[in-house]
Amino acid sequence: MSTEESSSGEGPAKAGRQEDRPRKGDPRKGAPRRTRMSGAARREEIVRAATEVFAERGYQGASTDEIARRSGITPPVLYEHFDSKLDLYRSLLERHFADLRQVWLGNFTGEDPPQLRVARSFDAWFSYIEEHPFAGRMLFRDTSGDPEVAAVHDEVAGASRAAILPLFATQPGAEKVAGSVSGEGLEMVWVVLRGVLQGLAIWWSKNPQVSRERVVATAMNSLWIGFERVFEGEGWQPPPGSGAAQLDQPG
């Protein structure tokens, strides 16, 4: 314990502000935050807390007051590090998406057989999710409620997609999954992949007792096994001559 506190001596004229309170009760108001950090360290603390809160409550549900509280500061300090809530959100997205992009680029490329590269990528991807649960849950949230937020999310996520998608396009036979490897077809492959991985990641975060190996195996069984057979030309065909009649939904 360092110096008692420097405010000894003169009695406070107006308000009796004591610095070393036994911070029982409310941790925000009762305890004066005399834990001063360097700017960089505090900024990291904000990033960590904000990832947590955004993961738990989504963009709209996360309050800057709550983020500040979990960072050990009051709201004004937050705005000395980030211009706005949206600016903070964007910088988190960029950081975490960059991490995941590296996971793909570092594992999917190479000369190994496709199945091995896919399995390796999935495993590395779920490893990242395992080690950064809040990051995963934050990234995969639906943000389309607020157009401005959705634009930021689409922009950052789109940059990752643009970096990763070409890896798949070179897979021979990939065009058979969704009709083509360019434009809509490739986009649909991406949608399916993302749907499965994100769905499993969110489910896994609520069922952590399941091993990563099992989650990866489920993803492989769902995606790769089917895709591989489609690559070889065994794709599903609609039953001939049975268009509308059979496929109509009941009233």
Partner DNA sequence: ACGCTAACCTAGTGACCACTAGGAAAGTAT
Partner DNA sequence: ATACTTTCCTAGTGGTCACTAGGTTAGCGT
Residues that bind DNA (CB under 7 A): 5-7, 12, 15, 17, 19, 29, 32-39, 42, 62-65, 72-77, 79-80, 84-86
Instruction: Please tell me the distance from the alpha carbon of residue 109 to that of residue 114, in angstroms, as a whole number.
Output: 9
- Cβ closer to DNA: 81 or 176? 81
Q: Are 42 and 126 in contact (CB under 8 A)?
A: no
Among DNA, its own copies, none, partner that 76 touches (CB below 5 to 8 angstroms by kind): DNA
- Binding mask 59-78 toward its own copies (x if CB under 8 A, else -) reads -xxx----------------
Residue 194 lies near its own copies (rule: CB under 8 A): yes
Q: Which of 71, 108, 123, 168 binds its own copies (CB under 8 A)?
A: 123
Nearest approach, Cβ of 31 to DNA (angstroms)? 8
- Cβ closer to its own copies: 54 or 82? 54
Among DNA, its own copies, none, partner that 109 touches (CB below 5 to 8 angstroms by kind): none
Residue 227 lies near its own copies (rule: CB under 8 A): yes
Q: Which of 47, 73, 93, 215 binds its own copies (CB under 8 A)?
A: 215
Backbone angles phi, psi at 5, to 5 degrees: -165, 155
Kindly state the number of chain residues that form the binding site for its own copies, as judged by CB under 8 A.
69
Residues that bind its own copies in the complex, under the rule CB under 8 A: 57-58, 60-62, 102-103, 106-107, 115-116, 119-120, 123-124, 127-128, 141-142, 144-146, 176-179, 184, 187-189, 191-192, 194-200, 203, 207, 210, 213-227, 229-230, 234-236, 238-239, 246-250
